[in-house]
A and B are shown apart, each in its own frame.
Chain A
Amino acid sequence: MADFETPELDDYTRTPGLAPGAMAHSQPFIAAPDHQQALGFPGELVDDWHDKAIAKFGELLGKYRSLRVYMDICVGCGACTDKCHYFLGTGDPKNMPVARQDLMRKVYRRHFTLAGKWFPHLVGAEDLTEAVLDDWYTYFHQCSQCRRCSVFCPYGIDTAEISMAAREIMDSIGKGQKYCNEIIGKVIKTGNNLGIPQPALAATLADLEEDIEEETGVAVKLPLDQPGAEVLVVTPSADFFAEPHVDGLIGYAKVFHQAGTSWTLSTHASEAANFAMFIGSYEQMRQVAERIRQAAEDLGVKRIIVGECGHAWRVAYSFWNTLVGPFDFLDPDYPAPQHICEFTHDLISRGALTLDKSANDHMTLTYHDSCNVARASRMGPEPGGQFHYPREIIKAVCNNFVDMAAETIHDGTYCCGGGGGLLTDDLLELRVKGAKPRMEAFKAVADEQGVTHMAAICAICKSQFAKVMPAYGYGMDKIVSLHQLVSNAIVLEGQNGEDDDPEDDAPAVEDSSDE
């Protein structure tokens, strides 16, 4: 484990003073040649990397309006400077969104603007030197692409777009990140990020079925590769084995069971996550998404429902239709795709689920809005549904719910600190420090309103919090899946006696960090 101190939590999040270079040492492992080449990227840094990078930069400027416009229009007003959780947690000025963008903008100015060619010092233009490239690698891997800065920018400049482009350029010259690129290779090869083969997956699901039956006395199924099912469920692979994710998966199964809706998982698409978004590769993103479309067509399902996963929901909700649509082979009566919360919310609002809220009485819950769900997607027909649906579900299955401070939830939510392809142990210091603002908001409601647990609907958030909450003195079981709460409260027909206390406080069996 890296050598660093966990920050002290304040009563509320204060803006730190500048600490230049505070995180200059934090870099993720570089992708091995195998991982690079599997995605069609050069195995290692190419000899003419400078020219290649500039050429790629030029190509991207012509491909993405976001990049083109955002390189030009920042006025440096400073509105974003105190909005990034990594800046708030580290004080490193290059973690201020505008400063992070400027790492790329200064190269843009030098090579693509008259002002930067003629008066580089005046406008802060700089060539892409080795030191600048190193800064890119360092600080574009300290952005979780959570888009909080974009909310507060008067022009909506989105650092996520810029960090994706930077990573795309770095991949193209052979300087990729191990964690993301290795995972993308795996998902394309085996169907999921973890590389779980079909027999192992089938065995895992069978075990879960046994567990549920043992606990409830009801034969709740978790079907795999079942042709003709009504619904294909695509969920992050962490749901198959990690705590607390797996309790969420059990929750989906119980909901489908009680709703009487036939459903299936798919080996071929046993992963909702799409890490290609993090590296800005639309081609990889399309390939990863294409598996899901294929699985849906092969299985002949009528609907696709996405499990609890933040960035996956962004890709599914915002990008699938573009990348691999149209989904005209699905039932037009339902949105394609749907979120599991939309499905459950609909059942609850129709009174179709039998719920015993008291099953969650041993907890007081708060809810962490995951960045990609909050700022890059929607649930239901109305804007903002992504905030209300999960909360309404929680309130329907729990008696005790408290929201965190207003500026830290909804579209002002703080990233968990592990999103955007940073959920890797080689970035643990960054992850711990980046979680500080969220931990401060959590501490406030824990101290003042007796909150004991935090629910989330994102596999990355759950893994991240299970890992970093202990650093701040909270047990790793304080983070729970939303559908775990549903699972606790749902009363299945023929279920064993009421008083089966759900084992929420049991120690988590597995550390999910090496996901």
Chain B
Amino acid sequence: MLTAVFAILLYLATLVLVGGLGLRIWQYASTPAPLKIPTTPAPTTTPGVVLRLAREVVLFESLFRSNKWTWLFGWMFHAALLLALLRHLRYGIEPVWTWVVWVQPFGKYAAFAMIAGLAGLWLRRIAVDRVRYISRPADHLLLLLLILITLSGLGMGYVAPTDIVGLKAFVLGLIYFDWQPLPADPLLLLHLALVAALMAVFPFSKLLHAPGVFFSPTRNQADDPRERRHVTAAFEASYRDG
């Protein structure tokens, strides 16, 4: 019963995540960008744009320029999240790839960095009057959700280890549609339920910044309007027919 509930929950969450994100990405991609609006100075070539976006996504370049504290906490959280996610690959892969094995020790400590980053961001949200002014309940709830996910994960790593072998069997069972029993460990159940919740709210929340940044015209356009005439089909249809 427990296994079925969680299996269905995770399937549904995955569907919502993939379907919802797919829909949003399709929407972003299919909405025209009629004019050239890169924030200049901007790269003049496509490789340059790829590099600019890479710097934004990997280093949070603009945020670094903007606010060192927010950058520190934000970057720390995201980098640690990436490590933690990579580490989790081991539960869905058999045999485990070598590089995932290498990530494992870093991934385990990454959870502490995640907590520190999230706590810093939350502190800013409460303590800085400007950030407090723009914060809504959903902003706090998302931070809470992420912190609870991290804490429950940490708990299993350092306080009350769960049946990792059983969990892996369950996850592989989900992937190959051959359900295996889920260990009935409260921390694990909490962790999985919260992750399912996070996956489900992803496409309906500000977490859309993850795919969205790639579609931001001020960052993803090359500065070449004189050299290349930029015209979208929609623009041509609506403005040049007269």
Residues of A within 8 A of B (CB): 15, 17-18, 61-66, 68-70, 72-83, 93, 96, 98-99, 102, 113-115, 119, 121-124, 147, 150-158, 161, 282-283, 286, 317-319, 321-323, 325-326, 335-337, 374-378, 381, 383-384, 386-387, 411
Contact = CB atoms under 8 A, between A and B. Distances in A.
A318 B227 CA distance: 10
A69 B215 contact: yes
B39 A147 contact: yes
Nearest to B121: A77
B184 interface: no
B139 interface: yes
B101 interface: no
Contacts of A73: 206, 208-209, 212-213, 216
A386 B138 contact: no
A114 B131 CA distance: 25
A113 B42 contact: no
Nearest to A82: B130
Interface of B: 24, 27-28, 31-37, 39-44, 56, 60, 62-63, 65-67, 70, 74, 121, 124-125, 128-131, 133-139, 141, 201, 204-206, 208-209, 212-213, 215-219, 223, 225-227, 229-231, 234-235, 239
A282 B239 contact: yes
A416 B168 CA distance: 61
Contacts of B129: 17-18
Contacts of B41: 378, 383-384, 386-387, 411
Q: Which secondary structure characterizes the binding site on chain B?
A: helix
* Chain A to chain B: the 10 pairs with minimum beta-carbon distance, closest first: A73-B212, A383-B41, A156-B218, A152-B66, A78-B131, A124-B136, A79-B66, A81-B130, A156-B219, A154-B63
Given A77-B70, A378-B41, A318 B35 contact: yes
Contacts of B136: 76, 122-124
A336 B226 contact: yes
B137 A68 contact: no
A79 B225 contact: no
Given A150-B39, A386-B41, A115 B33 contact: no
Contacts of B60: 154
A108 B218 CA distance: 21
A282 B35 contact: yes
A411 B31 contact: no
Q: Which of B27, B41, B60, B128 has the most CB of A within 10 A?
A: B41
A166 B7 CA distance: 45
Contacts of B137: 121-124
B31 A61 contact: yes
Given A64-B31, A66-B33, 14 more contacts: A63-B32, A68-B28, A80-B66, A93-B133, A98-B134, A114-B204, A152-B62, A154-B213, A156-B62, A282-B239, A318-B36, A322-B231, A323-B239, A386-B41
29 contacts: A17-B129, A64-B31, A65-B215, A69-B215, A73-B212, A76-B136, A77-B74, A78-B128, A93-B130, A96-B133, A122-B136, A150-B39, A150-B218, A154-B56, A155-B216, A156-B62, A156-B218, A157-B216, A157-B218, A282-B35, A322-B34, A322-B229, A335-B227, A336-B226, A337-B226, A376-B39, A383-B42, A383-B44, A411-B40
A66 B216 CA distance: 6
A282 B39 CA distance: 19
Contacts of A15: 130
Contacts of A283: 239
A66 B204 contact: no
Contacts of B63: 77, 79, 152, 154
A150 B63 CA distance: 11
Contacts of A65: 28, 31-33, 215, 217
Q: Which of A61, A114, A381, A383 has the most CB of B within 10 A?
A: A383
Contacts of A322: 34-36, 225, 229-231, 235
A151 B139 CA distance: 23
A69 B239 contact: no
Contacts of A18: 129-130, 133
Contacts of B32: 63-65
Contact of A83 (B66, B223, B239): B66
A78 B138 CA distance: 15
Q: Which of B24, B34, B65, B133 has the most CB of A within 10 A?
A: B133
Contacts of B62: 79, 151-154, 156
A75 B133 CA distance: 13
A104 to B, nearest CB: 14
Contacts of A122: 136-138, 141
A161 to B, nearest CB: 7
Nearest to A160: B37
